Structure 1
Amino acid sequence: MNTQPEPELLHSPQRTLSFHAVAKSALDLLYQHRLMTTDQLARLLTPTAHSASYLRRQLVALEEGGLVQRLRAQGKASPGHGFNRPYVWFLTETGADAVEQAAEIFSRRYRVTPESAASTRQAHTLAVNEVGIAFVEHARRLGHDCTPLSWTPEVAHRIRDGQRRFEDDHVISDAVLHYVHVHRGARTMLNVFIELDRATMTAAELAKKVSAYGRLYEFVPQHPDRARRSAASTRPAWQHTYPAFPRLLIVLDGAPGPTLAKRLADRTEDLYTLTRVDPRLSRLASNLSVGVTTLAQLKEHGPFGRIFTPLLRGTPEQRHPLTDMLLRRPAAAAPARHPPAPLPADLHA
């Protein structure tokens, strides 16, 4: 009988994990992130393995056990062959129930079906995963703390009282990401709103969504009984969830092509112009930190590279230079290879 260890795990930090441990981690990731490709799961769970074949065998075993399903990713494959597209994995009803029964991860009501997994939303979900994975991979390199479960997709925040359509009463973040920045032994917890834009909406519509975060910053829920209102009930709603108002990072992506860089640069310029003339955002410019970058730049340079264009600052003639995810004022910026100590508004551990 062959007793040799799996060759691709010889130098992996996961080499001592049992099948059950790695498979359980895969189930947890699929529960929280809804859809993931084999490659995305491998980069998070077995980042130093030589190939994803060991993980594939575990996913197939989970599939045979009725816990996960797979389908081919959407998009154009190589000369008409659908089998060249990567697999996208998601939990079955049984798999989701198994994760919830373990009670080790925050329960979410949303369930993925084969129909929703194959919908036009698939590409957006996978792109949001790429944003989260970029943070995880660069955190590993920098010695920061950002795990495969550190981002939560599609988090709704109420922005007005009333009973209108859900979309009118809430701003829905594509993801909320939690990142622990480590600098000279000091740990600072950062919360970040993520908006992933694949140019499926106009620049004006995207600017309106940025404005909705301004509404979130100011929104104070009305207490039904004014006589019983307390100091806590007069605070903005976000203060009940976050120690400081999260930064908003807008990540642009689009279909590959020779003009992609130019199209994304133009979109950044349009967004800069539109947000500057928004009355609400102008009034809150000193309270909000908003930055724009591209997915390609985020993956290559990481969140502490100088890749973010700050919005709501300066004029078109005197625009502030590129900065990192901390979105500091230029005078406080530091070289990208040695990130500065975080802003005092964040939560220090």
Structure 2
Amino acid sequence: MPYPTPTPLGASDVGQQAMNALYQHRLISTQQLHRLLTPHHTRAEYIRRQLHLLRDRGLVDRVGRRAHGQTDLLWWLTESGATAVEATGLLPQRPYRMSPEAAAGPLQEHTLATVETGLAFVTHSRALNHECGPLDWSPEIAHAYRDEQRPGEDLRLIPDAVVNYVHISGRQRTLLTFMVEVDRTQMTIARLAQKLHAYAAYQRYVPQPLAGRGPRPARRTATAPAWRSRYPSQAFPRVLLVLTGASPERLERRIADLRSLSAADPVLATAALRAGVTTLDQLREHGPFDRIFTPVLGDAEPVDALMRPLPIVKAPAA
């Protein structure tokens, strides 16, 4: 959805939207920006012209990327561009700044895969007349927690993206939040299972703040889990793992291995965590509300992003 804001240094509306998207998502290809902001244009020429105008003004920069026999440009905001976006007051300020070295570095593919995941939500929301726009997912938001298995440690859960999505059915509007992990098969399956463990630990974490005065303040008992202060009007967000970077057969084996390790984790096995795993190809093709997710825990029957299985169809009476 469009987010109108003051346009810095004479940028067009689309140019401003591109700057906002680059500020929030850090690194985006020309083709991704085209699908994100100008899908009504048949080709990417319009967004490409806007990006080059922004570059002429020193607001964005780019680096080439060769993939599938073609070269695409990857764009990010310069310091001047980031300052201009912050001056509009639209987006929460982020200390992170992209650089040419980082744009061409080892995290390039992971960043682009995360953008591609967010794009899948946006694209299918348009087709379904739901609401999910270019700024409705946020990368790498830190969630503080503690884990009973690691006493005394202050830990942080950092999803690759937190997606806000409005599901519309008739007159009913439902605000959904998804915590998304993108796995390019670069980490071990044990490490991926540890990430799921962190979600379960965060879900059950109840902070115990200190109260009172004096050299030995009394400890006040908290009853609400920490996540409710961030998501007060919702149930705990569903956790979606999106796999890419390998053949479909290898990703299927990875899903099976992840389910096995998760079932062996006593914290995960007893958690009320709603978590599902799919592939990026399936998400792009079918969207989040088709039955493309395999539950991480319990029955392996496919579900959608709401963790709903296929309805039971009764056989007709003989």
Provide the TM-score with structure 1 as the length reference: 0.80
1:72 to 41, 60, 64: 64
Secondary structure, in 3 states, of the residue corresponding to 1:173?
coil
1:241 aligns with 2:247: no
1:267 aligns with 2:254: yes
**Could you say if the C-alpha distance between residues 295 and 34 of structure 1 is closer, same or farther in structure 2, counting changes exceeding 3 Å?**
same
Give the match for residue 295 of structure 2.
310
Give the match for residue 33 of structure 1.
25
Give the match for residue 245 of structure 2.
254
Secondary structure, in 3 states, of the residue corresponding to 2:160?
strand
Give the match for residue 327 of structure 1.
307
Give the match for residue 225 of structure 1.
211
Aligned length: 297
Contact 2:291 2:309 in 1 (8 A): no
Shift of 1:185: 1.3
Matches within 5 A, 1:22-171: 22-73=14-65, 78=69, 84-160=70-146, 169-171=155-157
RMSD: 2.4
Shift of 1:208: 0.7
1:296 to 271, 277, 281: 281
**Could you say if the C-alpha distance between residues 38 and 76 of structure 1 is closer, same or farther in structure 2, counting changes exceeding 3 Å?**
closer
Secondary structure, in 3 states, of the residue corresponding to 2:288?
coil
Contact 2:211 2:220 in 1 (8 A): no
CA distance in 1, matches of 2:123, 2:227: 29
Secondary structure, in 3 states, of the residue corresponding to 1:50?
coil
The aligned amino acid for 1:251 is: V
Q: How high is the sequence identity, in percent, across the aligned residues?
A: 48
Task: Show CA shifts across 1:71-106 (max 9, x none).
Answer: 012x5563xxxxx42100000001000000110111
**Could you say if the C-alpha distance between residues 70 and 234 of structure 1 is closer, same or farther in structure 2, counting changes exceeding 3 Å?**
same
CA distance in 1, matches of 2:91, 2:219: 34
CA distance in 1, matches of 2:295, 2:206: 27
The aligned amino acid for 2:245 is: G
CA distance in 2, matches of 1:332, 1:250: 26
Secondary structure, in 3 states, of the residue corresponding to 2:142?
strand
Task: Show CA shifts across 1:144-188 (max 9, x none).
Answer: 010111100111111228xx9xx9711110000001000121000
CA distance in 1, matches of 2:197, 2:35: 35
1:202 to 178, 183, 188: 188
CA distance in 2, matches of 1:99, 1:160: 35
Secondary structure, in 3 states, of the residue corresponding to 2:176?
strand
Give the match for residue 336 of structure 1.
none
Give the match for residue 269 of structure 2.
282
Shift of 1:330: 5.4
Shift of 1:230: 6.2
**Could you say if the C-alpha distance between residues 331 and 230 of structure 1 is closer, same or farther in structure 2, counting changes exceeding 3 Å?**
farther
**Could you say if the C-alpha distance between residues 192 and 26 of structure 1 is closer, same or farther in structure 2, counting changes exceeding 3 Å?**
same
CA distance in 1, matches of 2:171, 2:235: 21
Secondary structure, in 3 states, of the residue corresponding to 1:86?
strand
Shift of 1:267: 0.4
Secondary structure, in 3 states, of the residue corresponding to 1:155?
coil
Contact 2:208 2:219 in 1 (8 A): no
CA distance in 1, matches of 2:281, 2:27: 21
Task: Show CA shifts across 1:263-286 (max 9, x none).
Answer: 0110011011111111001111xx
CA distance in 2, matches of 1:239, 1:124: 29
The aligned amino acid for 1:275 is: S
Contact 2:291 2:310 in 1 (8 A): no
CA distance in 2, matches of 1:184, 1:199: 39
Shift of 1:241: 0.5
Which runs of 4 or more aligned residues in structure 1 lie more than 3 Å from their structure 2 counterparts after TM superposition? 75-78, 226-231, 329-333
1:179 to 161, 165, 174: 165
Shift of 1:115: 1.5
Give the match for residue 345 of structure 1.
none
Give the match for residue 4 of structure 1.
none
Provide the TM-score with structure 2 as the length reference: 0.88
Shift of 1:218: 1.2
Secondary structure, in 3 states, of the residue corresponding to 1:234?
coil
The aligned amino acid for 2:169 is: H
